[in-house]
A and B are shown apart, each in its own frame.
Chain A
Amino acid sequence: MLVYARTHLTLLFRDPNLLAPLAVLPLYCVVFFTVLRHHHHEELATQTAIGAFLMSMWAHAVFVAAEVVDDDRHEGTLEPSMLTPGAYTAALSVRVFSTTALAIPVLAEALLIARFAFGFPVTLGSVPLSLVTVVLTTVGVAGAALLVSCLMVLVRGARTLQNALTYPVYLLGGLILPASTLPEPLRWIARGFFLSWSADVLRALQVAGAPAPLGSLGVLTVLVAAQVLVGFLALRRVLTTVRAGGVSLYD
């Protein structure tokens, strides 16, 4: 398992392009925080940093992590990998997760920018529970990336697809506005999507003196588990169709 993660991180760091989505985060933060200052809403700094963090993680997952299978096809490594489909599916899962996890430090980065570059008051609630939520979120986002990676293999011209999976998802994930403020049908969809619970729980955890949102954390856990299961099964299914000749092993 470890060797899969190590291999993959080596691949990533040797092609710095792949880390671009993470590098642009400070820019996002500067824009968001400048707007906050302009409107004198310094107290929203923590909430905004959380939103920026989740957006970065999601973008990184959709644009980088989800490309593993397609990249392997491009490198010509997909075909030999299919000789060990079980291990390969596991390897892909580890690789997608470790890529997604690279976005975790972005949360600290965003908070530090808020605190030291802008001098905003940054309030942290329960650090252990926040970490748990961040890890759960990472697992969920990786699960979503697995699902996207299937689409990348099946659908040509996946760039459009990747782009389509950013802003609508930010909206449905409650990253732009809290999910509870969304109009009726959208709110239902948002409520079935783990990311909106991540955003809510993370934000609630930073409110000083408020009770821990354990119920929401439970819902998040269930939705994340479902997301990972769907992603994993979809990937396994797609890799099976490779054998029937339904998917090209080459570009």
Chain B
Amino acid sequence: MAIVTAHELTRTFRTRRGQEVTALDRVTFSIAEGETVGLLGPNGAGKTTLARILATLLLPTRGTAQVAGWDVARQAKQVRRAVGLVLGGERGLYRRLTARQNLRYWAALQGLRRKEADRRTDEVIERLGLVARVDDRVETFSRGMVQRVHLARALVSDPQVLIMDEPTNGMDPHARAGFLRLVRELQGSGVTILLTTHDMLEAQELCARVALVDGGRIVRAGATEELFADLHAPRMVTASGVPEDLRSRLAAFPGVSGIDGTDGDLTLRVVGEEEANQVLLALAGAGVRQLAMAPPNLADVYRTIIADREFAV
């Protein structure tokens, strides 16, 4: 059962100079209940615009979208009850207030009564590991802690669908890993998640399905694994103790490129299932025992689809 659907969703903006910008261009997709879908794209791709339309913060110019069966344009009230929004970045909380004061205030905005608000607040504080710092002011928090409070706020109303817009933006790797762990715990609880990111690894780690967006369009979508198979993005093979002659022969194998390494160490990229098997067979046949193959990462997928952009991996 799809819990989020979008049909031909389009949003245009008029800039101050009067030019029309199409931020979102006939986007169609759906998310099944309990699923985590990644919306992956570079800056300016239209991710935030889509997140805001689904969260009812912005009206679509054309097209329709439903969340939990409600129309985002005409039944915003019901949609808002079903949705929790997590924004990335330093801002979005009252920095002079403590985490608990922030959460109580949001619980009140959500229409929770005093008792219920306190109970839910305590619950999310516990769940997100905020207990020790909950009565400290948010302005003293690290970026990672701030993001936990963002997540806690979104969870206070116990939403069916979580929309996270680049939640790990600006986090250091350690904080990011901690945050991703929290999200994985949430996934176990059955909540549906739409995650926007420009970070391939993040999408790869969390999302069973990914939609690649660019210029307001979904340029490709599918199960993360299928995307790779379908796209012939290269896999990375690494091995040690490779005889010199095999090394030069491998260069001539179909689908192989980017051979690198010295002193028997080897890395190469290979495109295609059968081609990869041939490489592995050859290596194993030559007695190579230290051997690994990594699945294609989204950076490679991206390069394959959108050739003319630069990505920092």
Name B91-138 residues within 8 Å CB distance of A: 91-97, 101, 104-106, 108-111, 114, 117, 137
| A174-194 near B? 1/0 per residue, CB < 8 Å | 000000000000000000000
Q: Which residue of A75, A77, A245 is within 8 Å of B58 (Cβ)?
A: A245
Q: Which residue of B80, B92, B101 is within 8 Å of A76 (Cβ)?
A: B92
Flag the segment in B39-47, B81-89, B174-182 that touches A: B81-89
Inter-subunit contact B83/A83 (CB<8 Å): yes
B36 in the interface (beta carbon within 8 A): no
Q: Which residue of A lies closest to B61 (CB)?
A: A245
Known A-B contacts A7-B94, A80-B153; A243 and B57 likewise in contact (beta carbons under 8 Å) = yes
B59 in the interface (beta carbon within 8 A): yes
Docked CA distance A88–B57 (Å)? 13
Inter-subunit contact B85/A10 (CB<8 Å): no
A154 in the interface (beta carbon within 8 A): no
Docked CA distance A185–B248 (Å)? 97
Docked CA distance A82–B104 (Å)? 17
Q: Contacts of A14 on B, CB cut-off 8 Å?
A: 96-97, 137
Inter-subunit contact B56/A7 (CB<8 Å): no
B13 in the interface (beta carbon within 8 A): yes
Q: Which residue of A lies closest to B73 (CB)?
A: A243
Q: Contacts of A245 on B, CB cut-off 8 Å?
A: 11, 13, 58-59
B55 in the interface (beta carbon within 8 A): yes
Q: Contacts of B91 on A, CB cut-off 8 Å?
A: 75-77
Chain A nearest CB from B278 CB (Å) reads 53
Interface size class of A (residues with CB under 8 A): 20 to 34
Q: Contacts of A7 on B, CB cut-off 8 Å?
A: 94, 97, 101, 104-105
Inter-subunit contact A87/B92 (CB<8 Å): no
Inter-subunit contact B83/A77 (CB<8 Å): no
Q: Contacts of A160 on B, CB cut-off 8 Å?
A: none
Q: Which residue of A11, A79, A91, A244 is within 8 Å of B109 (Cβ)?
A: A91
Q: Which residue of B13, B101, B114, B153 is within 8 Å of A10 (Cβ)?
A: B101
Docked CA distance A3–B99 (Å)? 14
Docked CA distance A243–B55 (Å)? 11
Chain B nearest CB from A8 CB (Å) reads 9
Q: Contacts of A87 on B, CB cut-off 8 Å?
A: 108-111
Q: Contacts of B137 on A, CB cut-off 8 Å?
A: 14
Docked CA distance A151–B204 (Å)? 45
A81 in the interface (beta carbon within 8 A): yes
| A76-115 near B? 1/0 per residue, CB < 8 Å | 1101111110011001000000000000000000000000
Known A-B contacts A3-B108, A243-B59; A83 and B85 likewise in contact (beta carbons under 8 Å) = yes
Docked CA distance A164–B108 (Å)? 36
Interface pairs A-B: 10 shortest CB-CB: A76-B91, A76-B92, A14-B96, A3-B108, A84-B109, A7-B105, A87-B109, A83-B80, A82-B57, A244-B59
Q: Can you report 30 A-B residue pairs in the complex whose CB atoms are below 8 A from each other?
A: A3-B105, A4-B105, A7-B101, A7-B104, A10-B96, A10-B97, A10-B101, A11-B94, A15-B96, A75-B91, A75-B95, A76-B90, A76-B91, A76-B93, A77-B91, A80-B85, A80-B92, A80-B106, A82-B57, A83-B56, A83-B80, A83-B83, A83-B109, A84-B109, A87-B108, A87-B109, A91-B105, A91-B109, A243-B57, A249-B57
